[in-house]
Amino acid sequence: DFLNALNEVKPAFGADDEELQDAFPYGIIHFSNSIKAILNDGMLAVESVRVQEKIRHTSVLLHGPSASGKTALAAHIAMKSDFPFIKLITPASMVGFRDELAKKDYLHKIFTDAYKSPLSMLIIDNLERMIEWNPVGPRLSNPMIQTLITLLQTPPPKGHRLLILATTSQRSVMEQLDITTAFDRQIPVPAVQDLRELGAILEKTGAFPTPADVNEALNAVRSYSNSDTVGVGIKTILTTAETSKLSAEPSEWFAEQIAQQITRYRS
Amino acid sequence: DFLNALNEVKPAFGADDEELQDAFPYGIIHFSNSIKAILNDGMLAVESVRVQEKIRHTSVLLHGPSASGKTALAAHIAMKSDFPFIKLITPASMVGFRDELAKKDYLHKIFTDAYKSPLSMLIIDNLERMIEWNPVGPRLSNPMIQTLITLLQTPPPKGHRLLILATTSQRSVMEQLDITTAFDRQIPVPAVQDLRELGAILEKTGAFPTPADVNEALNAVRSYSNSDTVGVGIKTILTTAETSKLSAEPSEWFAEQIAQQITRYRS
Amino acid sequence: DFLNALNEVKPAFGADDEELQDAFPYGIIHFSNSIKAILNDGMLAVESVRVQEKIRHTSVLLHGPSASGKTALAAHIAMKSDFPFIKLITPASMVGFRDELAKKDYLHKIFTDAYKSPLSMLIIDNLERMIEWNPVGPRLSNPMIQTLITLLQTPPPKGHRLLILATTSQRSVMEQLDITTAFDRQIPVPAVQDLRELGAILEKTGAFPTPADVNEALNAVRSYSNSDTVGVGIKTILTTAETSKLSAEPSEWFAEQIAQQITRYRS
Amino acid sequence: DFLNALNEVKPAFGADDEELQDAFPYGIIHFSNSIKAILNDGMLAVESVRVQEKIRHTSVLLHGPSASGKTALAAHIAMKSDFPFIKLITPASMVGFRDELAKKDYLHKIFTDAYKSPLSMLIIDNLERMIEWNPVGPRLSNPMIQTLITLLQTPPPKGHRLLILATTSQRSVMEQLDITTAFDRQIPVPAVQDLRELGAILEKTGAFPTPADVNEALNAVRSYSNSDTVGVGIKTILTTAETSKLSAEPSEWFAEQIAQQITRYRS
Amino acid sequence: DFLNALNEVKPAFGADDEELQDAFPYGIIHFSNSIKAILNDGMLAVESVRVQEKIRHTSVLLHGPSASGKTALAAHIAMKSDFPFIKLITPASMVGFRDELAKKDYLHKIFTDAYKSPLSMLIIDNLERMIEWNPVGPRLSNPMIQTLITLLQTPPPKGHRLLILATTSQRSVMEQLDITTAFDRQIPVPAVQDLRELGAILEKTGAFPTPADVNEALNAVRSYSNSDTVGVGIKTILTTAETSKLSAEPSEWFAEQIAQQITRYRS
Amino acid sequence: DFLNALNEVKPAFGADDEELQDAFPYGIIHFSNSIKAILNDGMLAVESVRVQEKIRHTSVLLHGPSASGKTALAAHIAMKSDFPFIKLITPASMVGFRDELAKKDYLHKIFTDAYKSPLSMLIIDNLERMIEWNPVGPRLSNPMIQTLITLLQTPPPKGHRLLILATTSQRSVMEQLDITTAFDRQIPVPAVQDLRELGAILEKTGAFPTPADVNEALNAVRSYSNSDTVGVGIKTILTTAETSKLSAEPSEWFAEQIAQQITRYRS
Ligand SMILES: Nc1ncnc2c1ncn2[C@@H]1O[C@H](COP(=O)(O)OP(=O)(O)OP(=O)(O)O)[C@@H](O)[C@H]1O
Ligand SMILES: Nc1ncnc2c1ncn2[C@@H]1O[C@H](COP(=O)(O)OP(=O)(O)OP(=O)(O)O)[C@@H](O)[C@H]1O
Ligand SMILES: Nc1ncnc2c1ncn2[C@@H]1O[C@H](COP(=O)(O)OP(=O)(O)OP(=O)(O)O)[C@@H](O)[C@H]1O
Ligand SMILES: Nc1ncnc2c1ncn2[C@@H]1O[C@H](COP(=O)(O)OP(=O)(O)OP(=O)(O)O)[C@@H](O)[C@H]1O
Ligand SMILES: Nc1ncnc2c1ncn2[C@@H]1O[C@H](COP(=O)(O)OP(=O)(O)OP(=O)(O)O)[C@@H](O)[C@H]1O
Ligand SMILES: Nc1ncnc2c1ncn2[C@@H]1O[C@H](COP(=O)(O)OP(=O)(O)OP(=O)(O)O)[C@@H](O)[C@H]1O
Ligand SMILES: [Mg+2]
Ligand SMILES: [Mg+2]
Ligand SMILES: [Mg+2]
Ligand SMILES: [Mg+2]
Ligand SMILES: [Mg+2]
Ligand SMILES: [Mg+2]
């Protein structure tokens, strides 16, 4: 059908499926109810851009702590949307530009490209890096901030529709800079909350051979960190579990590393 | 007649009607007496520029909270004025310029163009974005500020007349920067004040099928926000109402969203 | 005679009479004794540059609140001087320059031109705008400050004489920047002081049809502002009076507007 | 075999063995158990990049006081890894670039080169110098910071694997700048702790002719510094020992110099 | 003789006598003993540069309040020195340069020129303007500061001798910037101290027709300013006296103006 | 012999003897034991670079108050070293460069040149001027700081050896900027301490005709400054003594000048 035909030429317009899928190498694990809620919220935005009459564009900010899965979820929503034009804008895709002015022009160019399609989605990954924020100074790129806010608030031309998903792990910075008010909606992406959720992940991924190993790991984490709360992002959990397989005592090593992270983020 | 003839070639000079109308997709709803007063004030400025003897130009600042309808009202006044030259200057129209100096030159060019017509109107939308303001730092474009203040205070050449309408949601910033003193007059554009005004909007737009639905929505807002005051811009009200139609329980969802906004702006 | 002959070619050197006269569209109204004193002080500077032996240049700063008539008075003095070279340097004439360095070069060029005439006058209007001052930061153009101070203090070549009149509504800023010490003399230009002076203006301009209307307006101002002091610039008074003619109730509308201004500047 | 064949052409890709070896002219002395632990941790990172399935890159930060051996250990790990592409990026290799933008491009170029090899290692030596940090101001290169963080977090293309080792003696600066969160793991490299470790070094290097000389030196250090703790980097120890040979009284001179360093770093 | 021959071609090297003399249009009046002392100190510097064996250059800073006669005295010393190369470097001579780098190059060029003569004198007038100092910020040209300090401390090549006289009315700024330590000697140039000195000046210049007029003026000053101290620069005194001749009541007007200055500088 | 042959072509590589000798026009006077110690320390660095096996470069910082003889001592050590490549890098040699980037390139070029000789010495005179430091702001050249630190810490290529002597009178600034940690060793150069040392200098130079004159001068200094401590640099002492010969009362004038300096530096 027509949409499939469009999909075949999609790489010419923007991101192909492979690029999007590379953003969630471990898939999407439903370790808590919040995952479903996030995906629902995302798909509602997708639908509202697709069908609404007078609103030609919507922008949504996914925010949450480091490694909590923001990029993965945005890419997942994009893949499920079947929009004919999808583009993933990452800091890495901009690192080769000379300076903030070149980055600004590139960002503007991508929006102009998106405006050409009847139905487009842009994922702006890692806003704090886009605006070249660093916590000392403060220093940031005002041209990028001005351009982002303006583009977030500008509807595409008549007959065109645009959804913007953005991610950040520095929501309070975005608040201070008044960037959040340029978004229509915000979706929080929480870290893994407690040992129960952690257990669900370890089980679903088969990180450890037996349920007993999983339990051992969970107990070790609890005894190291003296607590049931976790507060560490799922990306950290999954990569640590994978690396632990190389270690002599996987569940022990895993627990030690995760406990360190728990302590670190607690403070 | 002559004015119509002029209107036909208007696109060559500045904004055409379609562009202006796109600035108020939901039309202008008379949900309170203040709307009429604002339009009267605006038309008085239009008339005074048209007929006064010694005053060749006037500048008016429309200020009010986010989404309160500033741009829509300015565009509406412009359409009603029937001036032969009208131009809408938005941050989006400047986002492609390299830097503040290029923006400054463009702004200057537009004024020079306007000076060529016997009767011109310029709408400078979103002053805070024009001057590249961000709340951290503070950082802003001094060349744009100097240029704006100078152009706001300079009369066109003899035999030419100019009306400038500008909008801002950051009036206190404009005060601090002494930009407000460059305006001849200011018109406040308030947010939707209370549930009564909110009800008037919902009724007039037919956002919900029956008066009962409207009442349900209003009651839900009141119970969520524990108050009769609203303080949210009409744009937010209208777009939220439209999106709510996609939801399973429109009036419930609408009330929840608006209550969030009420709480947010109250603080 | 010779001076008239010079006047004929004046436009080639600097400002023509029309340009100067455009700076005081409402003429000069003698609403208080201070006007006469200011004009006397100005003409004394004119004479001293014309005849003194060892002093080849003098610089005078006219300072006062917004709209108090500084530019008008400077232009009036220039017209009365009959100097063969007169140039009015306004921020508007510099708005097209790329940056502070281009402005600096232009300013230098004008002085160099003035040095070629045996007897020259330069009016530097609105010093705060010349130095690109804004109250936040603080931000200003150091190249323009350095250039201005140097040019203000440098005598023209032997056999040439130069008078510089400058205006500012930010005298304390000029004090802080040590720019005032580069002037030989300062002339304060006060706002309209009280209802008596206001009445004199309204009468002399015939802003209202009958003396009764004038009285009604004065009484309305007094009752709105609860005071006899005015403290508003004559430009504001005159333009408000003109606009009020379009209103349904001119004297009422006039009083309301002026009272607002009185309150604003009082704080 | 294949790896050897690759090794033969290695100089064309990156660092040759000689360059790496020049980074530890005094070899690696096992004066405490921490050395072994550091090397193990480093080799674990090497292995995990080589074999892991879903993780295509890992970044490790070696941090410790001045002269503690960070660069030597990183170079040693690189040599032992036998990766086909290894590159040592030092501040000295960047000193010839015009400015931060040229440095940024060079850094980006090196990463792009590394991405071409199936298995690459980059050593980024002396992060504080890379970002042009100085303690007064603060002043640093935001483009370098943004580029470093982005490149540290970006995986190489599919089918390619990358290990990044970086060194710094300013870990708290890196923490403040949020650069540490871009690393997957951190390895501390401590200074020489106490006289026992100092003695082990002096013995193993044969810095002094007889054990009695070593003892004399240790006793002299203790009596100068009034303490058993040392807290001086191994590089300082080794170079001071070498220079002391030129002195008339080697062990005396050595003790004096080391005691000065102990006192300096204690404060 | 040889020196005279040199003098004839002097204009090609640097300042001619006319240019120097233009710096003291009113001559040098000996209104107090300090004038003689200043001239002696200046001539000692002239002599020491001329004859000393191992010292090839000397730099002297004349500092004092505005209008106290610093430039006049420096020019006078230069004229009396009969050095074959004399150059007066003023802010006005640099106002046409594009930016601080162009000024720096020009300054360097002048020193290089001076190095070519066996015996050279440079007058650097108004150091605060040279370094583009303004009191808000603070803002100044670091390239000019670095260049000035370096050039002040660098001896000319062997066989060449150089005297540098500089002036400033901002000595404390020069102290803060460590510029004063680059000078070998400092000479204070005081303002006119009291009515006795003021009287001496008025008598010696014949500013007023009769001694009675002088007395009248002095008495008027005393009664206006309530004091015998003056603290105003001689330049101000002389130009005010000259202008007063145009006034209807010269001594009255003179006294009023001077009293204003006295009050101003007292605060 | 070979070294002499090299010496003959030395000017092509770096400094010739005349240039070095010009740095100590008054020779080196042994007015206290510290002079000998400084020279010994310097020669030890010379020797260690010449003969040590694993250490290919050493850097030494001479620091002390203004005029204490730092540059003279560095140049003297260089002359005694007989290294085939010696270069004196002064602020004066860099004053002609456009900006900090050009200076940085020049510095880098000199190091690259030095790396070509088997045995090189670089004298970097006046570090505070090299980094364009001024005490207000603070302002300094970060590119120069980064380049200096990097070059100070980088060994020359294999088979080449390099000694770096640097001077500064702003050691605490260097400490704050972490520049001192880039040096291997520091040598303090004290001012002339007391009247005894001052007497030794006056005697050894024959500044005054008879021992009685010396005593008279010393007594006068003591009575002016009320103290036996001096704390003034030897350069100041020697040049003041030379200039005093032109004065009518040499010892009196000398004492007065020196006492002023003592007082100044005491505060
Ligand atoms: N429910 C889930 N939500 C998100 N990610 C998941 C989920 N389940 C598994 N994952 C995996 O977790 C990883 C999430 O990493 P991701 O890069 O999206 O985190 P992030 O929040 O964007 O991190 P960062 O703060 O560094 O940008 C992905 O590899 C993804 O496959
Ligand atoms: N009485 C009214 N006044 C203004 N706008 C109205 C009114 N009635 C309906 N509207 C609709 O409300 C919307 C107002 O949006 P508009 O963009 O003008 O707000 P704004 O204050 O400029 O927002 P922002 O602060 O984001 O610039 C328009 O879609 C307009 O059609
Ligand atoms: N006595 C008067 N002095 C000055 N202006 C007068 C006088 N009488 C009438 N006017 C009119 O008042 C107006 C003064 O405006 P003008 O632009 O000179 O004020 P300004 O102080 O320069 O204002 P701004 O602070 O905006 O620069 C002119 O239109 C002039 O014709
Ligand atoms: N166990 C060891 N670990 C590290 N270096 C060692 C060890 N044993 C001997 N060395 C020697 O010590 C020196 C360490 O110097 P290196 O330059 O690595 O220190 P660094 O911490 O990088 O210093 P800097 O803080 O200046 O960058 C090398 O010469 C190395 O050969
Ligand atoms: N004894 C004197 N010393 C200096 N100037 C004198 C003396 N007697 C008369 N004059 C006259 O006084 C004037 C001094 O002005 P000069 O420009 O030198 O002052 P200045 O201190 O350089 O002023 P500024 O602070 O503006 O640079 C000259 O016109 C000079 O002829
Ligand atoms: N023992 C000595 N040490 C150093 N200089 C001496 C000594 N005896 C005599 N001198 C002379 O003293 C002068 C020292 O001046 P030098 O320029 O080296 O001082 P400096 O400390 O570098 O000054 P600055 O702080 O201005 O750079 C030289 O002329 C030198 O010949
Ligand atoms: Mg992410
Ligand atoms: Mg708007
Ligand atoms: Mg004006
Ligand atoms: Mg290192
Ligand atoms: Mg002067
Ligand atoms: Mg020196």
Is the Cβ–Cβ distance between B128 and B64 less than 8 Å?
A: no
Ligand with an atom nearest the CA of residue E24: 5
pLDDT at B111 over 60: yes
The shortest CB-CB distance from A142 to any of B66, B95, B132 is to: B132
Could you tell me the sign of the dihedral formed by the alpha carbons of D51, D53, D56, D62, in that order?
negative
Mutate to test the pocket of ligand 5, among E205, E235, E240 (most ligand atoms within 8 A of CB): E235
Give the residue numbers in C contacting B (CB under 8 Å), as ranges: 22, 25-26, 66, 90-92, 95-96, 98-99, 129, 132, 134-137, 139, 238-239, 242-243, 246-247
The shortest CB-CB distance from D48 to any of A134, A135, A243 is to: A243
pLDDT over 90 percentage in chain F = 84
Q: Work out the end-to-end distance of chain E between its first and last CA atoms, rounded to an integer number of angstroms.
A: 54
Residues of F in contact with E154 (CB under 8 A): 90-92, 95
Q: What count of other Cβ atoms lies within 10 Å of the Cβ of residue D191?
A: 22
Mean pLDDT for D207-220 is 93
Separation of alpha carbons F133 and F127, rounded Å:
9
Output the six-digit token pair for F223: 């009575």
Identify residue E212 by its one-letter amino acid code: A
Mean pLDDT for B94-123 is 96
Ligand 4: centre distance to CA D36 (Å): 14
Is any atom of ligand 4 closer than 6 Å to the C-beta of D68? yes
The shortest CB-CB distance from F142 to any of D132, D238, D247 is to: D132
pLDDT at B8 over 70: no
Say whether A129 and D150 touch across the interface (CB within 8 A).
yes
Ligand 3: centre distance to CA B252 (Å): 60
Ligand 6: which atom is nearest the Cα of residue F65?
Answer: 25
Ligand with an atom nearest the CA of residue A207: 1
What is the model's pLDDT at position A182? 96
pLDDT at B10 over 80: no
Could you tell me which of F243, F196, F189 has the C-alpha nearest to residue F215?
Answer: F196
pLDDT at B264 over 70: yes
Ligand 11: centre distance to CA E167 (Å): 7
Separation of alpha carbons C202 and C197, rounded Å:
9
> What are the φ and ψ backbone dihedral angles of B173, each rounded to 5 degrees?
-65, -45
Measured CA angle at D72 (ends D69, D73), to 5 deg: 85
Mean pLDDT for C217-233 is 94
Q: List the subunits that have 3+ CB pairs under 8 angstroms with B.
A: A, C
Question: Whose C-alpha lies nearest to ligand 1, atom 2?
Answer: A28
What is the model's pLDDT at position E207? 86
What is the model's pLDDT at position E53? 83
In DSSP notation, E42-57 reads HHHHHHHHHH-SS--E
Q: pLDDT tens, B215-252?
A: 999 999 999 989 899 999 999 999 999 989 888 889 99
Question: Dihedral of the CA atoms A198, A199, A202, A206 (nearest 10)?
Answer: -170
Mean pLDDT score of chain C? 91
Q: What count of other Cβ atoms lies within 10 Å of the Cβ of residue B210?
A: 9
Measured CA angle at E170 (ends E166, E172), to 5 deg: 110
What is the model's pLDDT at position A189? 98
pLDDT at F10 over 80: no
Could you tell me which of D64, D81, D69 has the C-alpha nearest to residue D25?
Answer: D69
How sure is the predictor about C59, in pLDDT bands with cuts at 50, 70 and 90? Answer: very high
Strands (E), F94-184: 119-124, 161-168
Mean pLDDT score of chain D? 91
Chain D's closest residue to F41, CA to CA, is D247
Ligand 5: centre distance to CA E233 (Å): 8
What is the model's pLDDT at position B53? 83
pLDDT at B178 over 50: yes
Separation of alpha carbons A77 and A88, rounded Å:
12
Q: List the subunits that have 3+ CB pairs under 8 angstroms with F.
A: D, E
Cis peptide before A143 (omega within 30 of 0): no
Residues of A in contact with D162 (CB under 8 A): none
Question: Shortest Cα distance from C245 to chain B (angstroms)?
Answer: 9
Residues of F in contact with D66 (CB under 8 A): 181
Is any atom of ligand 6 closer than 6 Å to the C-beta of F104? no
pLDDT over 70 percentage in chain D = 93
- The b/e string for D66-78 (b: 16+ C-beta within 10 A; e otherwise) is bbbbbbbbbbbbb
pLDDT at F142 over 70: yes
Question: Shortest Cα distance from D207 to chain A (angstroms)?
Answer: 39
Cβ partners under 8 Å of residue D17, min gap 6:
D10, D79
DSSP SS3 for D35: helix
Is the Cβ–Cβ distance between E91 and E130 less than 8 Å?
A: yes
Is the Cβ–Cβ distance between C100 and C144 less than 8 Å?
A: yes
pLDDT at F265 over 80: no
Output the six-digit token pair for F153: 């810490």
Is the Cβ–Cβ distance between B216 and B251 less than 8 Å?
A: yes
The shortest CB-CB distance from B176 to any of C96, C132, C135 is to: C135
Is any atom of ligand 6 closer than 6 Å to the C-beta of F63? no
Taking the mean position of all CA atoms in its chain, how far away is CA A235? 11
What is the model's pLDDT at position D138? 62
Could you tell me which of E149, E156, E164 has the C-alpha nearest to residue E86?
Answer: E164
Residues of D in contact with A132 (CB under 8 A): 142-143, 146
What is the model's pLDDT at position E6? 39
Instruction: Identify the helix (H) or strand (E) that includes residue A85.
Output: strand A85-89
What is the model's pLDDT at position D37? 95
Say whether B134 and A101 touch across the interface (CB within 8 A).
no
Ligand 11: centre distance to CA E203 (Å): 24
pLDDT at D1 over 80: no
Question: Whose C-alpha lies nearest to ligand 3, atom 11?
Answer: C26
Q: Which of F20, F71, F97, F136 to mutate to test the interface with E (most CBs of E within 10 A)?
A: F136
Strand partners, F165: F60, F123
Mean pLDDT for F156-183 is 96
Strand partners, D161: D119
- The b/e string for C61-96 (b: 16+ C-beta within 10 A; e otherwise) is bbbbbbbbbbbbbbbbbbbebbbbbbbbbbbbbbbe
ipTM confidence: 0.90
Q: Which of C142, C171, C173 to mutate to test the interface with E (most CBs of E within 10 A)?
A: C142
| Protein residues with CB under 6 Å of any ligand 5 atom | E 24-29, 35, 66-73, 126, 167, 169, 233-235, 238
Question: Shortest Cα distance from B107 to chain C (angstroms)?
Answer: 10
Least-confidence region, from B248-252, C94-98, C170-174, F77-81: B248-252
What is the model's pLDDT at position F207? 86
Q: pLDDT tens, D188-200?
A: 999 999 999 999 9
Strand partners, C58: C163
pLDDT over 70 percentage in chain C = 93
Mean pLDDT for B75-99 is 96
Is the Cβ–Cβ distance between D176 and A137 less than 8 Å?
A: no
DSSP strand pairing (A161-168 vs E192-194): unpaired
Separation of alpha carbons D52 and D39, rounded Å:
20
How sure is the predictor about B265, in pLDDT bands with cuts at 50, 70 and 90? Answer: confident
**Residues of chain E with confidence (pLDDT) below 50:** 1-12
Instruction: Identify the helix (H) or strand (E) that includes residue D256.
Output: helix D250-266
Domain coordinates in residue numbering, chain B: 2-188, 192-266
What is the model's pLDDT at position A267? 67
What is the model's pLDDT at position E134? 93
What is the model's pLDDT at position D255? 95
Q: Do F and B touch, counting CB pairs below 8 Å (3 needed)?
A: no
DSSP SS3 for A121: strand
Ligand 9: centre distance to CA C75 (Å): 10
Which residue is it, tokens 């040693």? D76
Is the Cβ–Cβ distance between B108 and B147 less than 8 Å?
A: yes
What is the model's pLDDT at position F255? 95
pLDDT at D3 over 50: no
Q: How many CB pairs under 8 A join C and E?
A: 63
Could you tell me which of A174, A110, A108 has the C-alpha nearest to residue A147?
Answer: A108
Ligand with an atom nearest the CA of residue D69: 4
Which residue is it, tokens 């004229």? E79
Could you tell me which of B212, B215, B214, B169 has the C-alpha nearest to residue B190?
Answer: B169
Chain E's closest residue to C45, CA to CA, is E243
The shortest CB-CB distance from E134 to any of C48, C52, C178 is to: C178
What is the model's pLDDT at position B13? 55
Which residue is it, tokens 């408000």? C240
Residues of A in contact with B91 (CB under 8 A): 146, 150, 153-154
Fold of E2-188: Rossmann fold (3.40.50)
Identify residue E26 by its one-letter amino acid code: Y
pLDDT at F127 over 80: yes
Question: Shortest Cα distance from D6 to chain F (angstroms)?
Answer: 26
Ligand 3: centre distance to CA D212 (Å): 97
Q: Count CA atoms within 13 Å of residue B133 on its CB side.
A: 21
What is the model's pLDDT at position E47? 93
Per DSSP, chain F holds a count of helices (H) and strands (E) of: 12, 7
Tens digit of each residue's pLDDT, chain A (267 residues): 433 443 444 444 566 788 999 999 999 999 999 999 999 999 999 999 999 888 899 999 999 999 999 999 999 999 999 999 999 999 999 999 999 999 999 999 999 999 999 999 999 999 999 999 999 866 899 999 999 999 999 999 999 999 999 999 999 999 999 999 999 999 999 999 999 999 999 999 988 999 999 999 999 999 998 989 999 999 999 999 998 988 888 999 999 999 999 988 776
Q: Count CA atoms within 13 Å of residue B16 on its CB side.
A: 5
Mean pLDDT for C52-67 is 94
Q: Annotate F55-86 with three-state secondary structure.
A: CCEEEEEEECCCCCCHHHHHHHHHHHHCCCEE
Q: List the subunits that have 3+ CB pairs under 8 angstroms with C.
A: B, E
What is the model's pLDDT at position F248? 84
Output the six-digit token pair for F194: 């007391």
Least-confidence region, from B138-142, B235-239, D49-53, F181-185: B138-142
Could you tell me which of D265, D197, D201, D257 has the C-alpha nearest to residue D224?
Answer: D257
Distances in whole angstroms, Cα of residue B222 to Cα of each of B190, B209, B257, E115:
20, 20, 12, 86
What is the model's pLDDT at position B247? 85
Give the residue numbers in F contacting E (CB under 8 Å), as ranges: 22, 25-26, 66, 90-92, 95-96, 98-99, 129, 132, 134-137, 139, 239, 242-243, 246-247
Say whether D178 and A134 touch across the interface (CB within 8 A).
yes
What is the model's pLDDT at position F4? 43
Question: Shortest Cα distance from B2 to chain A (angstroms)?
Answer: 31
Cβ partners under 8 Å of residue A84, min gap 6:
A3, A6, A7, A10, A13, A117, A118, A119, A120
What is the model's pLDDT at position E138? 63
